[in-house]
Chains A and B, each alone.
Chain A
Amino acid sequence: MNEIKPINVLLKGIFLFILFNLVIAAWQPGVGQFSLYNVLYPGRERLPFGENPKQAYNLSLFDLDAMFASHVIAGSPKADDEFRVIVIGDSSVWGTLLKPEETLAGQLNQASLNACGKNVRAYNLGYPTISLTKDVMLLSYAKQYDPDLVLWMTTLEAFPLEKQTSTPLVANNEEKARELATRYQLRVEADDSNFEVKSFWDKTFVGDRRAWADFFRLQIYGVMWAATGIDQVYPSDYEKAQTDFEADESYHDLSAPLTEDELAINALETGFRVVGETPMLLVNEPMLISSGANSDIRYNFFYPRWAYDDYREIMTALSQRNGWTYIDLWNIAPVSEFTNSAIHLTPAGEKMLAEALAPYILENCR
């Protein structure tokens, strides 16, 4: 028998390890498309997001392929009698503090709507960061699932220019953002410093180990999602949304009056170009309207009155000019129906929102 020489084993091991890393960096295999969700366990009702994975059985990652592959929409072939509605937006759509069935999409499904003889099935594709560009990125992915209608829930906080690419999901997907720029004229600066640029070494298995670990953890947590139906932590107690404010009129270094140039209107237009012929309802989502201290200056934590009033006017004018279906539901929910933020609704608040939107969904079927 040949004698094993440890140094040879070590050198071969190092060589193979380096080779493996180089192959991964050069190939970028895109494993995100492969998923155990919708195969071994049911797809998630909302996109993966979580800051406390061990308790939420959920985590935040930036691989859009893996995120969508874990969603129930990826494993649900569209039935002939299905009227497919996708709902995009921020954490208020994703459903912070809400169970999947309590979110807007969940409430729409529970309403058992019938549009043009088809059963309305809504899919929650919201994601808890506020940026129109992030929404457009998700929308471009969601399009492959053949929606019959898109509900795009927005709020002014998604419009400031500096917020567009700073959201981690966009910042870590520069290639996708630039693809949208080329294909749909999304405005992306050539030297935008928000993007996380990966060098060749960052793309090796070692350099990109966080992304690999996230991918595997997402697959493993699928067991707990299937076993418990839990995908976020539901604290028994939380701090209610603020209703008393300082006498502060500032808003993102902007000054009155707010103009279209100061907002990411291009991202909104890009969204409509992405969906093309598919009907899309642009919805100004409900927000908390405070009557507490200095509420004559601010509506809530996010918005001084002047900025929000200007924003609503801009949105109305913009929608009329472009022929978009714009639904302004900013004031439909009372203060009592908000939870820990000026845009997070209670289950009852989401129900009110679903009921307000239902007629528009029925009107916009083809």
Chain B
Amino acid sequence: MALENILILAAASLLWGALLRERGRTWFMLIASVLVIFWLQPALPIRGADFWAPLATLVLVVLTWYITTDDETRKGRKNIIVLLIVAGVVLLLNLARFVPQLQIFTASRPPQLETTLLIFLVTGLTLLALSRLTRFSASFLTAGLILTIGLFLTLKVPALTYWTSYFLRTLTYQSLDATRNTDFAWLGFSYVAFRLLHTIRDRQMGRLPSVDLGEYLTYVIFFPAFTAGPIDRLERFIKDLRRSDCEVLAEGQSDLPTASQRLLLGTFKKFVIADALALIALNDTNATQVTSTFWMWVIVYAYAFQIYFDFSGYTDIALGIAQLLGIKLPENFASPYLKPNLTQFWNNWHMTLTQWFRAYFFNPITRWLRSWQKPMSIPMMILLTQVATMLLIGFWHGVIWNFTLWGVWHGLGLFIHNRWNDMTKAKAAAWATTSTKQAILNISGILLTFHFVAIGWIFFALSSPVTSWQVIQKLLGLSF
């Protein structure tokens, strides 16, 4: 999100409070979110894709809601109204095709109306077909899970992204020679996918609360958290969403200073600190240009702080805007660089992502491994689960060699810390009997953890293992 996007969204959220007062909060959030996912989607080389991508998000969310919701909730009349309103908003956006002055919510001229109507028809028929089924099969949930993961992989595996772009270019009669794997950047899908997977899995486990379509849509595409999280949980989100407007307004008076403070802090972190550090942070170009060990460390440090201020700044902005609307999104960062070990670092860095992986991958896989008749040794199990979890987190950013190395680096780091902690915990406690010794241990831990993480960022920042290795050599003064 650019600064002007943030200012407009913050102003709109404030205006809602000032003008609409005691009603329409949930409708405001829903309609604003629908508009914003179209508004933020950048222009793409594939014709019409900047309209189709957000529309695909909406269709996917509606279908996922349908398969994850119980019969009773599904039949509610409000769902029809929500569906009609959302469809109406999309149609209005599409109709702006004929009025250039109104094309403010899409990056390019919206596509032909017929195609949108055809998508509505297909979605409607699918919903109708699903509603006619007398028994709702669990296999729909599995299919939803596979579809979401499949789409996710399509966007994250460069070869698949390339072929998707190729396919879409064929559909739009565009030059195939110009196909790039960066052609189809579906804004916000990474976070949307996590929310969809969370609800599908919780439905499979029978622990998903019942929510109507409007609530579900607002949860998945909630505009402050659409592009950069945090990844909230549905049961927590709807508690805030269902609070009465009066309650929210009353609290809003006291929330306004904290929300504004958070918003300003986030804006400062992102647009002043992070953007300034970006000028000197490690990248593919400067990695090969730096001529001394000292300055190599400086630009690696710059990257470490840039990514922190950038990401945590966006989180603050999301939390601030959401708070203006009476939603308290979960925290995503809690001074991660001041943690004395890697386990604590990951408990405080992009917390909602790590909690998601813990809930839906790490814990289930650990339970499964323990359930074996002949369980493997504990250290082996820890190694396997830690590395696999961190690998998946790496793949979430993209299925390329450098994210793989980054995942393995952290997975091994977590395993080593776990073993080291087991071996030395008692000795460390016996040694650190004074506050000075405890401080020494703590500060050493912070420094060591920070540097481990900073070196890990080299794989994250660069696109090639060879360049990453050259940077590491330069950091050690081995190669210039």
Contact = CB atoms under 8 A, between A and B. Distances in A.
Contacts of A53: 279
5 contacts: A221-B280, A224-B299, A227-B290, A227-B295, A230-B289
A6 B260 contact: yes
B407 to A, nearest CB: 29
B295 A229 contact: no
Interface string B274-291: 001001100001100111
B91 interface: no
A297 interface: no
Main secondary structure of the interface of B (DSSP, over half): helix
Contacts of A228: 286, 289-291, 295
A217 B272 CA distance: 11
B299 A227 contact: yes
Interface string A200-222: 00000000000000001100110
Contacts of B295: 223, 226-228
B466 interface: no
B339 to A, nearest CB: 27
Contacts of B296: 227
A217 B286 CA distance: 17
Contacts of A229: 291
B280 A223 contact: yes
Interface of B: 253, 256-257, 260, 276, 279-280, 285-286, 289-292, 295-296, 298-299, 302
B249 to A, nearest CB: 13
Interface in A33-61: 53-55
A217 B260 CA distance: 28
A190 interface: no
Contact of A227 (B256, B257, B291): B291
Given A224-B286, A227-B290, A6 B256 contact: yes
A315 to B, nearest CB: 42
A221 B279 contact: yes
Interface string A85-129: 000000000000000000000000000000000000000000000
Contacts of B279: 53-54, 217, 220-221, 224
Contact of B257 (A9, A217, A220): A9
Given A217-B279, A228-B286, A228-B291, A223 B299 contact: yes
A220 B276 contact: yes
Contacts of B257: 4, 6, 9
A6 B14 CA distance: 12
A170 to B, nearest CB: 28
A298 B66 CA distance: 78
Contact of A55 (B253, B260, B276, B285): B285
A223 B290 contact: no
A342 B299 CA distance: 38
Given A6-B256, A6-B257, A6-B260, A227 B276 contact: no
Nearest to A55: B285
Contacts of B253: 6
A67 B253 CA distance: 49
Nearest to B276: A220
Nearest to A219: B276
B468 to A, nearest CB: 17
Nearest to B290: A227
B259 to A, nearest CB: 10
A216 B280 CA distance: 13
Contacts of A223: 280, 295, 298-299, 302
B261 to A, nearest CB: 9
B445 to A, nearest CB: 28
Interface in A223-262: 223-224, 226-230
Contacts of A221: 279-280
Contacts of A230: 289
A179 to B, nearest CB: 33
A296 to B, nearest CB: 46
A235 to B, nearest CB: 14
Contacts of A227: 280, 286, 289-292, 295-296, 298-299
